[in-house]
Structure 1
Amino acid sequence: MLEQLLIFTRGGLILWTCKELGNALKGSPIETLIRSCLLEERSGAASYNYDAPGAAYTLKWTFHNELGLVFVAVYQRILHLLYVDDLLSMVKHEFSKIYDPKRTEYNDFDEMFRQLRMEAEARTEELKKSKQLIKPVNSRKQGQLQKAGFEGGKRNKSEFGSGNDGGDGDSAKVTGGNHTNMEKSRVTAVTNGKENTGSNIGAFDVSKLQKLRSKGGKKKDTITNKEDSKVDMKKKATKKNRVWDDSPPESKLDFTDPMAEDSYDHIDVVAADQGESMMDKEEILSSESETEGDEDMGNDNKPEAKKKGWFSSMFQSIAGKANLEKADLEPALKALKDRLMTKNVAEEIAEKLCESVAASLEGKKLASFTRISSTVQAAMEEALIRILTPKRSIDILRDVQAAKELGKPYVVVFVGVNGVGKSTNLAKVAYWLLHHKVSVMMAACDTFRSGAVEQLRTHARRLQIPIFEKGYEKDPAIVAKEAIQEATRSGSDVVLVDTAGRMQDNEPLMRALSKLIYLNNPDLVLFVGEALVGNDAVDQLSKFNQKLADLSTSSNPRLIDGILLTKFDTIDDKVGAALSMVYISGAPVMFVGCGQSYTDLKKLQVKSIAKTLLK
């Protein structure tokens, strides 16, 4: 049963709802659809599934882009209503006839909707009946054929087994003598133990197999000889064990005892002051004039342009087109998709973006002196800016002050895969916070990787900030909890928690990370990812979020709140990973790492990224 059908404008003004249905929706499916799908440029999808306590809805929608209207239908997911798409199309067609921008109420549309709904349901029932009528006929014919084949098989078997009529007699002709002769030939070939070339056409030659085996054996012998020689070389080049001292070796090579810091007292450490962080510098963007050829996106080379010819395309750009159709948009969207993929955007996301832009432009009127390619590019640029712009403000400095007033430290957890630069960029964030007069403590919760604690300790010495560590092979969740308690006692404003790098498919390590986040409830969970990755960024972020949700024991699990993009200075104009990560997670890019020094930390320039992707 259809739960609800709404018509509203792009600005959010509800024009009409179905009073006949009058079902109270559980949760807020319409608001979630607008926030998570329509505003996130996912409107090219066919449907959206919404889960709420006690209800599971499916939402379908369509647009009237020329009038700026949205039509949304909501129904129970378990029902699988087949007439919804047809109903939405008819409602859009009929409502557009009576729509007036000055009107806000359309009570006279109730009767029209009732008729349209009955018509859509009747069409679906007729379609179901036609399918049901076709199926029995096919099944009956199939059954008759199977029965006939079975009886024929029995007759052939009996005749063949008797040995009287299976030769060239009349019975063999009636029941398919050729078939029985073939069966005979096959049986004789098997019983004699020889290969019958007449009956086994295309069979494998055994002699060839023996030759291949002999060749393979020779190759195997040569390979084993080579391996033996390699082993001998390795034996010769064996490195001697290093002798550290005369004392007996310890069972574990763990020098991360907290008391070991006393050994550094004699070293004069100068605080690393490399100037102002790039986070506090406003970057001036140069407005470069783009050539007309870049904006055209090769539309003149497309098949559609060749079909229409020069005069028709020029006349269309001068006089304008009545309504844009999907076929008009496809060449420009295809060129845009290829361009986005060359800039390291994941293929799946580039395709969804193009579908969303097509849905927002289909049916619109093309303005005079405007080409389709430039219209599509402008719509895509607007969509990219909308995606990359944070949906909610995350001001760390403001949130730190708010937490300080409550008497607790602000906790940031850095997570990500192996080798992306979590510890280095954690130190950059600490340097930026120190320049804003914020006291920082580091928590060494990477108790898995060798050298991780020493690396963080080096950064702490250079920045002259405290570090909380418990060595290796400890529970990182407990270490983080004790670090937060220590920061509360010492009055530190921020705790930066370093975690071990882990692949998104490593369930034991993902379970440990989920426990750390659940036990300590940090204020911010930062995913540290490389700007070099393309399609892998989608897999990493989606699986991190999925694992954090699945392995959490809370009903409202914590997911990734923000992204720190590293190695941004190594990618030139291939900045698509930023778009892929934001699109798949909905979390904003809060920091961009662009070098080796502590000052090399930037904000993401959204407009610059959008222009670079389309350049």
Structure 2
Amino acid sequence: MLEQLLIFTRGGLILWTCKELGNALKGSPIDTLIRSCLLEERSGDASYNYDAPGVAYTLKWTFLNELGLIFVAVYQRILNLLYVDDLLSMVKREFSQMYDPKRTVYNDFDDIFRQLRKEAEARAEEMKKSKQAPKPVGNVSRKQGQAAAQKAGLEGGVKQKNGASGKDGGDGGDGDFAKGRKSENGYSNGMGIEESHAAGVVKNKENGSSENGAFDVNKLQKLRSKGGKKPDNVSKASKVEPKKKVTKKNRVWDEKPSESKLDFTDPVDERGDENIAVMADQGESMMDKEEIVSSESEAEEDEETEKDNKGNAKKKGWFSSMFQSIAGKANLEKSDLEPALKALKDRLMTKNVAEEIAEKLCESVAASLEGKKQASFTRISSTVQTAMEEALVRILTPRRSIDILRDVHVAKEQGKPYVVVFVGVNGVGKSTNLAKVAYWLLQHKITVMMAACDTFRSGAVEQLRTHARRLQIPIFEKGYEKDPAIVANEAIQEATRNGSDVVLVDTAGRMQDNEPLMRALSKLINLNNPDLVLFVGEALVGNDAVDQLSKFSQKLADLSTSPNTRLIDGILLTKFDTIDDKVGAALSMVYISGAPVMFVGCGQSYTDLKKLNVKSIVNTLLK
């Protein structure tokens, strides 16, 4: 049974709801749909599942972009109603005929909707019965089919020996059965017996009777004769004078190297302690520097391309494209948008955006543009480009505050440390970027303590200890083979006692499919309830970014023991300086998780940490 059907504008004004249904929806499925699906450019999806305590809804929707209307149907997920899509299209068609922008009440639409729902339900029942009813087969027709099969099989066997196509081209009661069969040589069913026989002989001759296992000796002789000739490039290369041999220089051995050249360790005092004498100071962190992005966009090709019958790209005529841009188009259709969207999808994939994400984005942009009136003096490609740019800005712009410094001061006023947990797969640079975040916080006069909770990887505690010595900050460690959740809990208690403002928790790298380590990570998060869970991911990954983040979030949700499930709160993107313009991993990660990119690692020193510039990323993706 349908729970509710709503019609509202893109501005949020509800024009009509079905009073006949009268069901009060539990939770807020419509608000969640708008916030989590429509505003996140997921409107190209077929449906949306909403889960709340004691209820599970499925929501389907359609747009009327020409009038700026949205039609949403809500029903219980267990019912799986088949007529909802048909009902939405009929409601959209009928309501568009009576819509008036000045009206806000449509009580007269109740009777129309009641009739439309009956028609949709009746049509769905008919389709269901037609699929379930078996087709009757008589005894006579069965005998004719068996006789035709035997006859066709015998004739086909004879023809295959003679090189023919093995088809029955004659007329009679067995003609339909013969037409339904497909020959091995692939000739059309309309060909006669003699014609197919001749065609088959010619084909076998051209193919060198390869179907019978024979080999053409003439071809072998031709290949040998070709192989005997030297190619032109080889003869030309032989004429080139050989380069002079480079002689190796003698190595000069330094028998008494200075100790300063060989000593790369941190300085120690005379007592032999591991405390560093001077804190590592490498200047101001890039987090506090504003990146300037040029607003000038690169010039694009003015003429649209289309594909001919052979699949080659050709440019439209100057007059036709210019006339369409001047006159505009009444309503954009999906067929008009497909060429531009395909070009955009290919461009996004070349920038390392996951194929699944690029396809969903293009579907969402098509859903938002279909039916809209194209403005004059604009091309379809530029219209699609503008819509995609707006969609990317909406996705990459954080929906909540990511000001960590403000959150740290709020936690300090409450008398507790601000806890950040770094998670991710192996080898992405969690410990190194944890040290970069610590260096940035120290520059803002915030006291930091590190917690070495990577008790799995050999050398992880020593690596973090080295960063702590260089930054002159305390570190809490308990060695290896300890429960990381207990170590993190004790570290937070120690930070509360000594008055540290921030606790940075380093965890072991783990693959998203490693069940024991994922269970340990879930325990650490549930036990300590950190203020921020940062997923550290590489900017080099493409499709794997989707798999990593989706499985990390799914495992944290499945293994959670608390009612308030904690998922990924933010993303730290590493190795951003190694990808040139392949910045698509940032888009893929944000789209699949909904978490913002809070830090970007772009080098090997402590200062190489900066914010994500949304405008720069969007320009890079679309240029």
* TM range, smaller chain: 0.7 to 0.9
Distance in 2 (alpha carbons) for counterparts of 1:575 and 1:105:
48
Distance in 2 (alpha carbons) for counterparts of 1:271 and 1:464:
6
**C-alpha displacement at 1:142, in angstroms?**
12
- Residue 540 of structure 2 aligns to a residue in which SS? coil
Question: What are the superposed Cα offsets for residues 492-530 of structure 1, whole Å, 9 maximum, x if unpaired?
Answer: 010000001011111111111011001101000000000
- Verify: 1:337 aligned to 2:342, yes or no: no
C-alpha contact 1:62 1:88 (8 A) present in aligned 2: yes
52-61 or 421-430, which moves further after superposition? Answer: 52-61
C-alpha contact 1:269 1:461 (8 A) present in aligned 2: no
Alignment of 1:575-586 (within 5 A): 575-586=583-594
Specify the alignment match of 1:495 in structure 2: 503
Amino acid at match of 2:614: V
C-alpha contact 2:423 2:508 (8 A) present in aligned 1: yes
Amino acid at match of 2:494: E
Distance in 1 (alpha carbons) for counterparts of 2:539 and 2:607:
18
Q: Taking structure 1 as reference, are residues 22 and 263 closer, same or farther at Cα in structure 2, changes over 3 Å only?
A: farther
Distance in 1 (alpha carbons) for counterparts of 2:605 and 2:572:
16
Distance in 1 (alpha carbons) for counterparts of 2:600 and 2:273:
35
Q: Taking structure 1 as reference, are residues 137 and 59 closer, same or farther at Cα in structure 2, changes over 3 Å only?
A: same
306-315 or 544-553, which moves further after superposition? Answer: 306-315
- Residue 137 of structure 1 aligns to a residue in which SS? coil
Specify the alignment match of 1:56 in structure 2: 56
C-alpha contact 2:306 2:339 (8 A) present in aligned 1: no
Q: Which of residues 339, 345, 366 in structure 1 aligns to 2:374? A: 366
Q: Taking structure 1 as reference, are residues 528 and 18 closer, same or farther at Cα in structure 2, changes over 3 Å only?
A: same
Specify the alignment match of 1:98 in structure 2: 98
Alignment of 1:489-528 (within 5 A): 489-528=497-536
Q: Which of residues 288, 301, 304 in structure 2 aligns to 1:299? A: 304
Specify the alignment match of 2:290 in structure 1: 282
C-alpha contact 2:279 2:470 (8 A) present in aligned 1: yes
Q: Taking structure 1 as reference, are residues 318 and 146 closer, same or farther at Cα in structure 2, changes over 3 Å only?
A: same
Question: What are the superposed Cα offsets for residues 456-501 of structure 1, whole Å, 9 maximum, x if unpaired?
Answer: 1111111111100001111100000000000000000100000010
Alignment of 1:105-504 (within 5 A): 105-133=105-133, 135-137=134-136, 265=273, 268-293=276-301, 296=302, 299-303=304-308, 309-504=317-512
C-alpha contact 1:44 1:353 (8 A) present in aligned 2: yes
- Residue 87 of structure 1 aligns to a residue in which SS? helix
**C-alpha displacement at 1:306, in angstroms?**
6.0
**C-alpha displacement at 1:8, in angstroms?**
0.8
- Verify: 1:532 aligned to 2:531, yes or no: no
Distance in 2 (alpha carbons) for counterparts of 1:329 and 1:459:
53
**C-alpha displacement at 1:269, in angstroms?**
2.7
Alignment of 1:554-593 (within 5 A): 554-593=562-601
C-alpha contact 2:50 2:56 (8 A) present in aligned 1: yes
Distance in 2 (alpha carbons) for counterparts of 1:611 and 1:442:
37
**C-alpha displacement at 1:382, in angstroms?**
0.4
Q: Taking structure 1 as reference, are residues 264 and 79 closer, same or farther at Cα in structure 2, changes over 3 Å only?
A: farther
Question: What are the superposed Cα offsets for residues 562-606 of structure 1, whole Å, 9 maximum, x if unpaired?
Answer: 000000011010000000000000000000000111111111000
C-alpha contact 1:445 1:499 (8 A) present in aligned 2: yes
Distance in 2 (alpha carbons) for counterparts of 1:97 and 1:523:
52
C-alpha contact 2:297 2:619 (8 A) present in aligned 1: no
Distance in 1 (alpha carbons) for counterparts of 2:440 and 2:139:
78
**C-alpha displacement at 1:303, in angstroms?**
4.2
Q: RMSD across aligned C-alpha pairs, in angstroms?
A: 2.5
C-alpha contact 2:276 2:472 (8 A) present in aligned 1: no
Distance in 2 (alpha carbons) for counterparts of 1:586 and 1:63:
23
Distance in 2 (alpha carbons) for counterparts of 1:436 and 1:143:
88
Specify the alignment match of 2:5 in structure 1: 5
Percent identity of equivalent pairs: 86
Distance in 2 (alpha carbons) for counterparts of 1:79 and 1:515:
36
C-alpha contact 1:518 1:558 (8 A) present in aligned 2: yes
Q: Taking structure 1 as reference, are residues 45 and 142 closer, same or farther at Cα in structure 2, changes over 3 Å only?
A: farther
Q: Taking structure 1 as reference, are residues 605 and 107 closer, same or farther at Cα in structure 2, changes over 3 Å only?
A: same
Distance in 2 (alpha carbons) for counterparts of 1:92 and 1:20:
18
Amino acid at match of 2:547: D
Q: How many residues in Structure 1 have an aligned counterpart in Structure 2?
A: 504
Question: What are the superposed Cα offsets for residues 295-352 of structure 1, whole Å, 9 maximum, x if unpaired?
Answer: x5x7324349969754333211110001000000000000000000000000000000
Distance in 2 (alpha carbons) for counterparts of 1:141 and 1:383:
62
